[in-house]
A and B are shown apart, each in its own frame.
Chain A
Amino acid sequence: MEDKNRSLLNIIDLKKSFGDNLVLDGISFSLDTGENKVIIGPSGTGKSTVLNCVNRLVVPDGGEIWLEDTEIISCNNINEIRQEIGYVFQGFGLFHHLTALRNVMLGLIRVKKVPKKEAKEQAIAKLEQVGLLDVLDSYPAQLSGGQKQRVAIARALAMEPKLMLFDEPTSALDPELIGEVLNVMKNLAREGMTMLVVTHEMGFARAVSDEIIFMEKGKIVEKSSPEKMFKQPENPRTREFLFKLDELYGKGGEE
């Protein structure tokens, strides 16, 4: 089992049904350290379910998910594994009763048991990284959507994860606020963070992703580099979907 090029994340034949609704029908792919992959696909296809299986917020019915040497589905220290996997999603999930700074500190203090003073320093550093030094003491309800999502990113980063999952992080935002969040994500990708991103922002995918995975009805239809995906997708379904995305969100490529 010695494998020098073992991926950071390796998903093998992942299966999941909700009742008799087969949502994931054998999904396999992997991410190496520093890689950035984008998942696209129609609504209800199981994209969110893939991410939720990776941090076991949803328990799969079959398959394997390896984070380095740990199999996530069967491991018995899920709360430790979750610390290694940052999760940022559409709804932000900021803790309403805590300031931006406290939101970022909470996991450090309560989960990582970092002493308060250090936790504060680390949290400030992460908030600086996402450009939010000016709102440290603001509460979530006082922040714009873009700021909220950046706090959520800082909060996830504070745990020093090996992998970051993003589930449509900009879908709930007003168009003029999307850019600030995407920029933070692009910087993160360029700094070498391993990222798995569900998004329809094709500009982002073009700029930083190593591979685009097109999913439909619980299966991976096609995966390839962004260049290939946009210039000459193999599968007609992919072509059709990308065409629709263009119509909905405009041509990918503009920043």
Chain B
Amino acid sequence: MSARLELIRRSLPALLGGTVITIQMTVLILLFGVFFGLIFAFGQVYGNKPIRWFVNIYEKLFRSIPELVLLLLVFYGPPSIGIRISPFNAAVLGLSLRATAYMSQIFRGTFKSVGSDQITAAYSLGMGKYKTFLFVILPQAIRVFIPPFANEYAIILKDTSLAYALGVAELLRQGQYIIAVAYDPLTIFLVIAVIYFILTFGVTRLLKLLENKLKIPGIGVEIG
């Protein structure tokens, strides 16, 4: 037992190092996903036909390719035309392509959650499209956005473990290195599982608190 604890104690720094990489990737992918997802959703809702068409195809495409295949394509694709891409960047890029598709869809749903009556009212007050979006749609969309965002966060966090396949020294890979020398896969994988759990549970918990804090009084009371 104490040998186990000792192993955990000794491997923790390396695992935490991997955790930092995992978190970096997750944050970057989320940033990309939110940024481009927002733009895509905007294009889908307000854009002209070619833009809507593009977003539509994009979403369909990147939601139907397995993440791992996407990572491998991004990693091995560019070098074949002479562009070098690091494993870390390839993993972030590959997963961001996918995250953008999902975020775009989530944003679109949240924009549409604001009823047309409110938009009509805003226009009739002399608020143009831009002000209506900023002061009427966005503040309500953010609230609706939190639960699916929390869900998407958890998916992205877990998907970063796929970067393992490209050799990125993220949490899972670090674990593998340790297992190779200190042969005790069960212990190490358990520790890794716990770290993933803490990251997922902790953050979704925080988002839940935020959601409750932002809750609009009177709404959702009946539904629970």
Contacts and interface: CB of A to CB of B under 8 A. Distances in A.
Contact of A83 (B115, B117, B125): B125
Contact of A111 (B119, B121, B127): B127
Interface stretch (A84-92, A185-193, A200-208): A84-92
Chain B CB count within 10 A is highest, among A57, A83, A93, A155, for A93
B121 A83 contact: no
A29 interface: no
A138 B140 CA distance: 17
A89 B131 contact: no
A152 B219 contact: no
Contacts of B122: 93, 95
B118 A95 contact: yes
Contacts of A152: 121
B143 interface: yes
Interface in A140-167: 140-142, 152, 155-156, 159
B79 interface: no
A55 interface: yes
Q: State which size class the interface on A falls in.
A: 20 to 34
A155 B125 contact: yes
B124 A111 contact: no
A138 B216 CA distance: 10
Contacts of A107: 125-127
A96 interface: yes
B118 A110 contact: no
Contacts, number: 87
Chain B CB count within 10 A is highest, among A85, A96, A106, A107, for A96
Contacts of B124: 55, 57, 82, 85-87, 93, 156
A79 interface: yes
A94 interface: yes
Interface in B83-139: 114-115, 117-128, 131, 135-136, 139
A55 B115 CA distance: 19
B126 A93 contact: no
Contacts of A83: 125-126
Contacts of A156: 124-125
A139 interface: yes
Contacts of A89: 117, 120-121
Interface string A28-56: 00000000000000000000000000010
Contact of A110 (B115, B120, B127, B216): B127
A57 B118 contact: no
Given A89-B117, A96-B140, A159-B125, A139 B219 contact: yes
B219 A141 contact: yes
Contact of A95 (B123, B128, B136, B218): B136
A80 interface: yes
A203 to B, nearest CB: 26
B114 to A, nearest CB: 8
A102 to B, nearest CB: 10
A96 B118 contact: yes
Interface in A68-124: 79-83, 85-87, 89, 91-97, 106-107, 110-111
A95 B217 contact: no
B217 A139 contact: yes
B128 to A, nearest CB: 5
B87 to A, nearest CB: 43
B127 A93 contact: no
A85 B143 CA distance: 31
A111 B126 contact: yes
Given A85-B124, A94-B121, A111 B131 contact: yes
Contacts of B128: 79
A21 to B, nearest CB: 20
B218 A140 contact: yes
9 contacts: A82-B124, A83-B126, A93-B115, A93-B121, A110-B127, A155-B121, A156-B124, A156-B125, A159-B125
- Pairs A-B, 9 closest by C-beta atoms: A93-B121, A141-B218, A87-B124, A91-B117, A142-B218, A93-B117, A107-B125, A83-B126, A82-B126
Interface of A: 55, 57, 79-83, 85-87, 89, 91-97, 106-107, 110-111, 138-142, 152, 155-156, 159
Given A95-B140, A141-B218, 11 more contacts: A57-B120, A91-B117, A92-B121, A95-B118, A95-B122, A96-B114, A96-B219, A97-B216, A111-B125, A111-B131, A142-B217
